[in-house]
Amino acid sequence: MSANIIDGKQVAEKLRERIANAVKKIEQEHKKIPGLAVVLVGNDPASEVYVRNKGIQTKEVGMTSYEYKLPEDTPENELLKKVDELNNDPNVNGILVQFPVPQQISQQKVIETILPAKDVDGLHPINSGYLSSGLEGLVPCTPQGAAILIKEACKDLSGKKAVIIGRSNLVGKPVAQLLLKEHCTVTICHSRSQNLELISSEADILVAAVGIPNLVKKDWVKPGAVVIDVGINRIDVEENGESKTRLVGDVDFDDVKGIAGSITPVPGGVGPMTIACLLLNTLNAFCDQNNFDRPSL
């Protein structure tokens, strides 16, 4: 039997629709709308595409998008000054600095300069503290998207055994916290873990956030498991004698789809959820800053 393919594009589109409706309602009632500021430093082509897409989708849901492009050689203090200016701008409810930043800038300093209330990337230690304490804050976007897709595939997570491969602050750890909050029994694996294949093969929910193309094979997967592939890896392929590149995940999709119960594809799985959750965080940050209740979406 072939796995149910979880359509992240469709789930993200529905979430954006609900966000747009909530923004419309807020605008009618309160005559103001959320604003998201995105700062890009340098000319990385992939980052430029991400930032452009964020701007387009922000406007599509009815929010205001502020975009700032700074040169590659921007000194750290200049970027921190820009962040501070946005911290103090009442029209800006969310701030996102596109990572990676050039090497003269400390990513951690940027994260800690953004006001926690405007930290829509959810990476400030105050927000990770809220998440690990089970309190309401702003949750990193990709893990939040992964958790929404898991709930699409499995309504009752209570007591399920979840294995997360990867322990980064950006993905692995927050996914683990979110699943713990849903009462899963959570195991986090990393590059020093032993018997990874055996641990993975016991999971009802398996999340791969590693950055190694096609690492997870069918022997790593329990029959019927929900498999969430966060990895995005560009690999070289030969097609009809031509050299091309292709995006693949950390899970060998063709190998695993025959055994998993549900699986996310790459592309089209977790990826599209990231911007939708960024918009959700911006809406929540706006509501918190204005003492409005967060809409339940």
Contact positions vs ligand NAP (CB under 6 A): 142, 165-168, 170-172, 189-193, 196, 209-212, 230-233, 270-271, 274
**Catalytic residue check, 194:** no
Q: In the complex, what is the shortest distance from the CB of residue 260 to ligand NAP, in angstroms, rounded to a whole number?
A: 18
User: Quick check: 225 and 233 in contact, CB under 8 A?
Assistant: no
Residue 114 vs 141, nearer CB to ligand NAP: 141
Residue 20 vs 212, nearer CB to ligand NAP: 212
Residue 26 vs 266, nearer CB to ligand NAP: 266
Distances (CA, A) of 231 to 165, 209, 216, 271: 10, 5, 11, 9
Q: In the complex, what is the shortest distance from the CB of residue 293 to ligand NAP, in angstroms, rounded to a whole number?
A: 29
SS3 272: helix
| Active-site entry in 54, 118, 160, 173 | 54
Residue 26 vs 272, nearer CB to ligand NAP: 272
Q: In the complex, what is the shortest distance from the CB of residue 185 to ligand NAP, in angstroms, rounded to a whole number?
A: 19
Identify the CA nearest to 280 among candidates 11, 67, 5, 98. 11
Distances (CA, A) of 102 to 28, 171, 189: 41, 21, 30
Identify the CA nearest to 95 among candidates 103, 86, 108, 107. 86
| Active-site entry in 118, 119, 121, 257 | 121
Q: How far apart are CA 175 and CA 166, in angstroms?
A: 10
Q: In the complex, what is the shortest distance from the CB of residue 168 to ligand NAP, in angstroms, rounded to a whole number?
A: 3
| Active-site entry in 57, 98, 144, 177 | 98
**Catalytic residue check, 54:** yes
Residue nearest to ligand NAP (CB): 168
Q: How far apart are CA 191 and CA 170, in angstroms?
A: 16
**Catalytic residue check, 57:** no
Q: In the complex, what is the shortest distance from the CB of residue 22 to ligand NAP, in angstroms, rounded to a whole number?
A: 23
- Estimate the crossing angle of helix 125-132 against helix 172-181, to 10 degrees: 30
Residue 196 vs 287, nearer CB to ligand NAP: 196
Q: Beta 205-208 vs 161-165: how paired, if at all?
A: parallel
- List residues with catalytic annotation: 54, 98, 121
